[in-house]
Amino acid sequence: IIFLWTPPHFWALALYRVEDYRKSGLPMLPVTHGSEYTRLQILLYTVVLFAACLLPFIYGMSSWLYLFAAVVLGAGFCAYAWRLRRNYSDALAWRTFRFSLVHLSLLFAALLVDHYLFF
């Protein structure tokens, strides 16, 4: 989950701070491939992340509590990625970055609570 979460998380920040990355010479995706391509990649990775977040439930490692959290949080992250893809703004890129932090924190909290309540 963290492997798939990391790219859209950091690319949203890189979109927001693209000029800083450009000036520093760091080859972040928005600098090397542009904003539109980066926003597409954020959306695609977020959709794959959504699917990966369902795997603990599919494999019987968690219960309905975790599934509910994964679906709500995944849908929220996908909504941010979709909006970012369609209508870019720095403010939306920053909100997407911040939501990614909430997404991962609450997802893992749900997994932890689920584990101690139901297993």
Range of the domain at 107: 2-118
Q: What is the mean pLDDT of residues 105-116?
A: 96
- Mean pLDDT, the chain, whole residue set: 96
CA distance 119 to 114: 8
Residue 119 has pLDDT above 90, yes or no: no
Q: What is the mean pLDDT of residues 44-61?
A: 97
Residue 118 has pLDDT above 90, yes or no: no
CA distance 96 to 78: 10
* Total domains present in the chain: 1
DSSP class of residue 61 equals: S
Query: Which tokens sit at 71?
Result: 């679906």
Q: What is the mean pLDDT of residues 14-42?
A: 96
Q: What is the mean pLDDT of residues 27-36?
A: 96
Residue 72 has pLDDT above 90, yes or no: yes
